[in-house]
Structure 1
Amino acid sequence: MVDYSVNGSVAVLMVNNPPVNALGHAVRVGLKTGIERGAKDSRVRSIVIIGKGQTFPAGADIREFGKPSKEPWLTAVGNLIETCSKPVVAAIHGTCLGGGLEIALFSHYRIAVSSARVGFPEVTLGLLPGAGGTQRLSRLTGLPVAMEMISSGRHVPAKKAKEYGIIDEIVSGDLLKTALKFAQEVQSRPFKDRCLRYKVVPNADRVEEYASAALTQVKKKYKGFEAPVTCVQAVRSSAELSYEEGMKRERDLFLQLGQSGQSKAQQYAFFAERAVTKWQMPGGSYKTAKPLPVRSTAVIGGGTMGSGIAVCLLSAGLPVYLLEQNEKFLQSGVKLIENIMAGSVKLGKVSMETAKRAATLLKPTLSYDDIKDVDLVIEAVFENLDIKKEVFSKLDKICKPSAILCTNTSTIDIDRISSATSRPEKVVGTHFFAPAYHMKLLENIYGTKTSPEAVATVMKLGKTINKVPVLVKSCHGFLANRMNAPFGSEAIFLVEEGASPQEVDQVNEDFGMPMGPFKVRDLSGIDISWRINREVAKVLGTSITKETRFLGGNRYCGLNDDFYDKGRYGRKTGKGWYLYEKVGGKNAVADPEAEEIINSYRQRRGIVKRKITPQEIFERQFYSAINEGFRILEEGICNMPEEIDISWIYGFSYPKYRGGPMFYASQIGLQRVYDRICHYHETCPYSIHWVPNRLLKKLAENNVPFTQWANHVSKSKM
């Protein structure tokens, strides 16, 4: 997988392992053999390492993850490169990442095309560069840059890499021809001083200052993650130890991380994100269904969600008609889009060029006639079935027959919405999560008549707009919100019984959730959840009063209603479950008035407050969600546990270093989880979500390993 050739006095080692020239065993062998051959070849005076196709080696071969590693190790190959008797030039294009960058740092010279990017993304897998990256990068860039690059995993453009000293020259034209010329020019130069092992780390005497600043930053930015902290420690050793001792320290830390639960969880999440792209549904799959082209779009509704969705489409270069019912609402939506774009530019998340292009692609309108020729429409009106059916009836009459009609519903069965059209096969759910321009999950939902072609179109659209699309079957609440329902219900039941909102939130945040459930309620708006509860009651054919204790046969807590009645809607009113320093503020503090509302509610219901432990809080929230997750699997709402875990990671910011609720359950042990669910089924009556799931029971009793769950799910449907 490494082609060896000689051009004049230059040996060329061309890595040929498509698609990304990953540094698998065969490539490592090829590089070792090529360097040894070039060193012995009397015709050769210098050597070029280059990638064939799209990229320089872009890191490790993920197919080797979890398998015993084979010699030669990457470090041994690198040492062979660095100690070669002839200068070695790394010619970089595409992405030079992880082990690829380590190979480049072992080389004596590094040139790159302007579009190339370099970086060490190992931290995203709960690891650190294990072949000298933490010891060598700092010798070029200095400690602050090396600590930040390695702990963040960010990709650095070639121009910035040259500023950092990583790249020697940025070249244009044919890379191989330029590399050959460069390699000929360096043949007469002494190059032993180019060996990084002999270089001193700049400003090594300030290592304590730099490390302290870096640790403060990573602990704040990557709260709960072990790998970023360990990355800083490894880079620090490059300044405090000799090169040889630093390499040993790097190896020890690499092995320490590799054996940690966090690394296993993050690697699982990495593969899970790829697994969910292999979707399937009755009548089709990712292999057979062809997506329709989407060249133009429309968004119905210019509120917070609709405007956020429009930003996603515009940022991807898609023209968007924004349709509203009157001029006031329309201009409000346009202004919101402009503000989101301006904020994204300010934060560096979107380029000024992208924002300017988006402004030209946005087409505000009050007329349905303007959207008659678009390829795809996303409805983002209020979560009300009657309103949505009215919108879809209009779309059915106006849009061209091939148009895909999407609904951004968070709970409503797709079949109930598609019944308002004559083309249910073209109707599909596209559930964005708030804020739509930031949250990565796109929950795509198919109904009983949705075509695989429509599904393929929205799954591809998800990737186009930089989302992580997950396909699920329609039901009330779908996947994410259906699992979140018991999770959220238990939070409020716990407060009803005696816990404080602060205690519940603290347990969640200690586990790794960025915000506790009551802070989330204040952020999204207590009035929103109040309306959703009324919609649920409407669907069930009942109503909610002060005395309501059960809804659809399930336990109901009216605490949220009491807060709504007091006008405490959350951040938008400056007070909700917490008190805020100002309307729209972020700093949440405990509020005596909120405590009084809770106490008054308990007295009205005759509830005696009791002490609730953090362990009970954790188990009741997370285990109830896990139980529902198994029910979702058993019912075929999704096909594999990876779809559940990715939905929680990208929809609710579940800590990636836990792997997702289903993976986490496998790490705890299914028997323990099942036993505790049975316990709460006995002690928490009238909560349907505590009925122990049969699939969970079967997997627990048979001690089925996580990797075989999907097979058992498939068999349970037969």
Structure 2
Amino acid sequence: MKNVCWKLETDAQNIGWLHLDVPGKSANTLSQATIEELSTQLDEAIHANLKGLVMISDKSSGFIAGAEVSEFTQIQDVEEAENFMANAREVFAKLENMQIPTLALIHGHCLGGGLELALACDYRVAEEGASLGFPEVNLGIFPGFGGSVRAIQKMGVRNAMPLMLSGRPMVAKLARKAGLVDVVVPQRQLKRAAVHTILNQPTPVHKRKTTLVDKALNSNLGRSLLSKYLRKQTKAIVNEAFYPAPFALIDVWQRFGNNREIMFVQEGKAVSALIASPTAQNLVRLFFLQDKLKAMGKVETTPIQHVHVIGAGVMGGDIAGWCALQGFKVTLQDQNMQVVASAIARSATLYGKILKRDPRAQQAAMDRLIPDLAGDGVAQADLIVEAIVENLDIKQGLYKSLEPRMKKDAILATNTSGIPIDELALVLKKPERLLGMHFFNPVSKMKLVEIVAGEKTDTASLERAFAFVTKIRRLPLPVKSAPGFLVNRILMPYLMEAIRMVVEGISPQAIDKAALDFGMPMGPVTLADKVGLDVCLAVAKDLEKISDDVVPEFLQTWVSEGRLGMKSGQGFYTYNKGKAQGALSTSSEHGDIQHRLIMRMLNEAVRCLDEGIVADSELLDAGMVFGTGFAPFRGGVMAYIEQTGKKEIMATLKAMEKTYGPRFKGSAAAWKKV
């Protein structure tokens, strides 16, 4: 078999160095072919009479990013998945059972299948900046190459389960404390540390750290008690009916954790059943949609270095804080110093959470976030982000004062949630550099940013905007300039239907519960309060001319009275320290509530696709999942339509049109294209 990815070299001390460099990729991944080739290389190493074997990546990006996810989409059934898992486990077992010391030399990322491979080695030596984790739950599965067994064995269940159930990686120093890594050194010392470890063969960390508590927890009684606790904790975060993978992992460990060999097999069976499920296939699809959006920012452009944000309210202040966290110099302008101070305080809190183990990094981020009441940063900024009140006249007045002061190649971006770019651009002499850069609340959690092009926006400005959004670790979505753009255009009928039901006398709790039972991360009434009733009102008014919804008078009254939702402490719910008061409905009887909510959303999505608001159904699904949290396990709005069946949905719309009126009427021409 010809070596494509792996190359075995032997040094002067007779230590084997098995290099991995998957061709044509920026990061190493483990495909079936790569694993088969590894098996051949291990056979060669076994017969070479080596003193030890070091697994090393030749990629600058890291060790191994995980399994080759694209192969998951090609798995037809559970049996095929089981064969794949069994083959990988067999190769990893060959590595684990070698009669010489083996070591994984880790830099950068070591994730998923890559970490499972590393766990099959006797030792793991990592650079200080390495990141190790099991993100499989985000794809609807859990480690299936023997990783769950080895992680629990080497880290103890108290450390291993949170790592696998959360999907969050840990840095090398924490991994060392948890027993996952044996040695942590600066990158320049990696190879020296590997050689020293191979030649001296110290007792692995996990053997030194095994405690009586770990042994007790792996007893039948211990597993039973801890599994109950883990299920309770996990249910507080995800619904088992929608995301079964973490619960399947807990179940496999509880039932088979006392027998290593049986747990290997049962791990493979459970993961195989999961990987062939619609949930996993939908989550894998979203994984690739995320990559598709990221790729839009990978263009060579003039880099943005200085960002000037105008408007230090919730959105503007948080945009500024996030950009500073990502390494940009940011000047933050507002008419009110107290508003700026509040924004900076929120940023400080955010930095304290994200960078809690690195006070220097916290201070560096704070130093990059500069108050600028006078707006002096306008003249130096490469990107100016306007995030002021949603009013066309006020925004245009600002633009007229800004344009003469801007650098000739600076971009002017508006965070408007729905005002068409072409209307805003009417007062500019150079409308080609105006575009929409629509963030979502909360900025630190919502991945999506809509990039909105006007008729005259030039390609260079758009490319720089895409690159910038990717640089701040967000997902750029190109959308057409039209009222509401994509996300708010589809979301607003859903929210307005919820408000209509409140007017009809249906409790907000029952409405929210129906949405949560569909798989939405938040109910529509709570969402309206969180977005802000003033923002909902502004967007709803913008959309009135193209929708069948009329803004209720009470909503306008509430906004004029300052009853704005969560930010004012009172909306549909009353809030105390950011939490809604009053119990959520426990009833699972929704009547037509769920259909009324979801059908409005589906109908509007089809219209948007027909009008070319986005280029295709994949971008629409990406926008709705990453911009609104639309039930990820369903794969997106258009994926849900396809999986449910267009005929069934159209029949439901027709029935609801008869009962509730023309707002449920579907466009025959638009639906025909789906």
| TM-score normalised by L of structure 2 | 0.89
Determine the structure 1 residue equivalent to 2:56: 50
Stretches of structure 2 lacking an aligned partner (at least 5 in a row): none
Percent identity (aligned): 30
Q: How does 1:537-552 map to 2 (within 5 A)?
A: none
Residues 143, 235 of structure 1: 8 Å contact kept: no
Partner letter of residue 672 of structure 2? Answer: K
Q: Deviations over 1:69-102 (max 9, x none)?
A: 6868210111111222322222222222111111
Residues 154, 207 of structure 2: 8 Å contact kept: no
Q: How does 1:364-443 map to 2 (within 5 A)?
A: 364-443=371-450
Q: Deviations over 1:597-619 (max 9, x none)?
A: xxxxxxxxxxxxxxx97252222
Matches of 2:312 and 2:630 in 1, distance apart?
29
Determine the structure 1 residue equivalent to 2:602: 626
The alpha-carbon deviation at position 148 of structure 1 amounts to 0.6
Determine the structure 1 residue equivalent to 2:468: 461
Partner letter of residue 247 of structure 2? Answer: V
Residues 310, 322 of structure 1: 8 Å contact kept: yes
Residues 527, 564 of structure 1: 8 Å contact kept: yes
Matches of 2:378 and 2:513 in 1, distance apart?
47
Matches of 1:575 and 1:363 in 2, distance apart?
32
Determine the structure 2 residue equivalent to 1:649: 625
Determine which of 663, 669, 673 is the counterpart of 1:694.
669
Matches of 1:613 and 1:153 in 2, distance apart?
33
Q: Which runs of 4+ in 1 moved over 6 A?
A: 69-72, 193-196
Q: In the alignment, is residue 25 of structure 1 matched against residue 35 of structure 2?
A: no
Residues 276, 642 of structure 1: 8 Å contact kept: no
Q: 1:589 to 1:662 in 2, by over 3 A?
A: same
The alpha-carbon deviation at position 369 of structure 1 amounts to 4.7
Q: 1:212 to 1:74 in 2, by over 3 A?
A: same
Q: Deviations over 1:393-419 (max 9, x none)?
A: 112111011000000100100011111
Residues 59, 96 of structure 1: 8 Å contact kept: yes
Q: In the alignment, is residue 123 of structure 1 matched against residue 137 of structure 2?
A: yes
Matches of 1:494 and 1:693 in 2, distance apart?
27
**Which 10-residue stretch deviates more, 1-10 or 440-449?**
1-10
Determine the structure 1 residue equivalent to 2:345: 338
Matches of 1:20 and 1:565 in 2, distance apart?
54
Matches of 1:89 and 1:590 in 2, distance apart?
53
Partner letter of residue 52 of structure 1? Answer: D
Partner letter of residue 85 of structure 1? Answer: Q
Matches of 1:181 and 1:231 in 2, distance apart?
36
Determine the structure 2 residue equivalent to 1:16: 21
Partner letter of residue 117 of structure 2? Answer: I
Q: How does 1:567-582 map to 2 (within 5 A)?
A: 568-572=563-567, 574-580=569-575, 582=576
Residues 418, 539 of structure 2: 8 Å contact kept: no
Matches of 1:636 and 1:134 in 2, distance apart?
45
Q: 1:534 to 1:678 in 2, by over 3 A?
A: closer
Residues 301, 380 of structure 1: 8 Å contact kept: yes
Matches of 2:178 and 2:626 in 1, distance apart?
33
Residues 610, 673 of structure 2: 8 Å contact kept: no
Partner letter of residue 242 of structure 1? Answer: N
Q: How does 1:148-547 map to 2 (within 5 A)?
A: 148-172=162-186, 173-186=188-201, 202-203=215-216, 204-205=218-219, 206-223=222-239, 224-237=242-255, 239=257, 241-279=258-296, 290-325=300-335, 329-346=336-353, 351-497=358-504, 499-533=506-540
Residues 530, 566 of structure 2: 8 Å contact kept: yes
Q: In the alignment, is residue 587 of structure 1 matched against residue 580 of structure 2?
A: yes
Residues 674, 692 of structure 1: 8 Å contact kept: no
Partner letter of residue 113 of structure 2? Answer: G
Q: In the alignment, is residue 108 of structure 1 matched against residue 108 of structure 2?
A: no
The alpha-carbon deviation at position 278 of structure 1 amounts to 4.9
Matches of 1:454 and 1:133 in 2, distance apart?
46
Q: Deviations over 1:623-659 (max 9, x none)?
A: 2211211221122211122222222222222232222
Matches of 1:553 and 1:656 in 2, distance apart?
28
Matches of 1:94 and 1:343 in 2, distance apart?
25
Residues 125, 193 of structure 2: 8 Å contact kept: no
Matches of 1:648 and 1:157 in 2, distance apart?
32
Partner letter of residue 695 of structure 1? Answer: A
The alpha-carbon deviation at position 388 of structure 1 amounts to 0.7
The alpha-carbon deviation at position 310 of structure 1 amounts to 0.7
Matches of 1:447 and 1:107 in 2, distance apart?
55
3-state DSSP of counterpart to 1:65:
helix
Matches of 2:28 and 2:350 in 1, distance apart?
37
The alpha-carbon deviation at position 234 of structure 1 amounts to 3.0
Partner letter of residue 555 of structure 2? Answer: N
Matches of 2:133 and 2:320 in 1, distance apart?
32
Q: Deviations over 1:682-701 (max 9, x none)?
A: 443342x63335232243xx
The alpha-carbon deviation at position 365 of structure 1 amounts to 2.4
Determine which of 78, 83, 93 is the counterpart of 2:107.
93
Matches of 2:231 and 2:589 in 1, distance apart?
32
**Which 10-residue stretch deviates more, 618-627 or 340-349?**
340-349
Matches of 1:506 and 1:573 in 2, distance apart?
23
Matches of 1:577 and 1:525 in 2, distance apart?
11
3-state DSSP of counterpart to 1:589:
coil
Q: 1:428 to 1:561 in 2, by over 3 A?
A: closer
Matches of 1:387 and 1:350 in 2, distance apart?
43
Matches of 1:23 and 1:645 in 2, distance apart?
28
Determine the structure 2 residue equivalent to 1:667: 643
Q: Deviations over 1:365-391 (max 9, x none)?
A: 233454212111000110000011111
Q: Deviations over 1:501-557 (max 9, x none)?
A: 2221110111222321112223334344345555667xx6xxxxxxxxxx9765554
Matched residue count: 648
Residues 630, 693 of structure 1: 8 Å contact kept: no
3-state DSSP of counterpart to 1:639:
coil
The alpha-carbon deviation at position 201 of structure 1 amounts to 5.9
Partner letter of residue 183 of structure 1? Answer: I
Q: In the alignment, is residue 560 of structure 1 matched against residue 564 of structure 2?
A: no
Residues 310, 320 of structure 1: 8 Å contact kept: yes
**Which 10-residue stretch deviates more, 88-97 or 117-126?**
88-97
Partner letter of residue 104 of structure 1? Answer: A
Which has more radius of gyration? Answer: 1
Matches of 1:408 and 1:476 in 2, distance apart?
13
Residues 58, 95 of structure 1: 8 Å contact kept: yes
Partner letter of residue 328 of structure 2? Answer: L
3-state DSSP of counterpart to 1:56:
strand
Partner letter of residue 138 of structure 2? Answer: T
Matches of 2:51 and 2:522 in 1, distance apart?
60
Residues 678, 692 of structure 1: 8 Å contact kept: no
